[in-house]
Amino acid sequence: MASPTIKLAGKLLGVLLLGGVGGVVLSEIVLPALAGLPQFQGVPFFERIKGGTTVITRREEVLIEESEAIEKAVEKARGFFTPDGLALTTDGVVGAVNDRGALFSKRTEARNLAVPSFLSDEKIRVGKVIFSLIVDAEGSPTIAIGVITEKQDGGFSTTLLAQNPPPGSAVFTTKAELVGMVARETGKLRIVPIKEIQAL
């Protein structure tokens, strides 16, 4: 004769197995059948069952994290701008644009400037989120956000240029790494890559 503990464990196991089988039958057979009946058309619960459940929580979290990363990167990158342009070296070399929007570098009297780290070519990847930033004389930032869509020899394509960022804008990653600077060449906007900036 089985002890009361074994009987209780057997009953508990039986209830769990029966509940598991019942749950599967309910979710896989009964609820989809009910969702197909005209009486339940338009009921949100049954619409989700019929169309499959869409989980959007993960996407929302990614968007929130990306937004926070851009905010932090903008705050950090603002410190790289001087009244003369974007600081490229600590000893006073800045990148700026002339009246036609062409990029050039010049040496200023400023020293001990905060400078961005440069993103290497190997880290430029399709899908990377980038943003352009320019800071006006009052220190107010203007940004545009885009994505790298194609890596090309000596550069890349991006959705950022469709937003017409002003020439002289610096282009950063969400970690405030410098990708390039926006310039106007032959009437078109272009992101001048790091290699070309360093050669100025």
Q: Give 118-147 pLDDT, tens digit per residue.
A: 988 888 899 999 999 988 878 788 999 999
What is the overall mean pLDDT for the chain?
84
pTM of the model: 0.65
pLDDT at 51: 57
Give the mean model confidence (pLDDT) for residues 62-88.
86
pLDDT at 62: 58
pLDDT at residue 154 above 80?
A: no
Q: Are 191 and 150 a contacting pair, CB within 8 Å?
A: no
Q: Which DSSP helix (H) or strand (E) runs through 78?
A: helix 57-78
149: confidence class by pLDDT, cuts 50, 70, 90:
very high
Q: Determine the average pLDDT of the residues in 156-162.
A: 90
Contacts of residue 27, defined as CB under 8 A and 6 or more positions apart, other chains included, come to none
| pLDDT at position 56 over 80 | no
User: In whole angstroms, what separates CA 117 from the centre of its chain?
Assistant: 19
What percentage of the chain reaches a pLDDT higher than 70?
88
Average pLDDT value for residue range 5-26: 82
CATH class, 81-198 region: mainly beta
pLDDT score, position 165 = 93
pLDDT at 176 exceeding the cut of 60: yes
| 3-class SS of residue 20 | helix
Domain boundaries, the chain: 4-54, 81-198
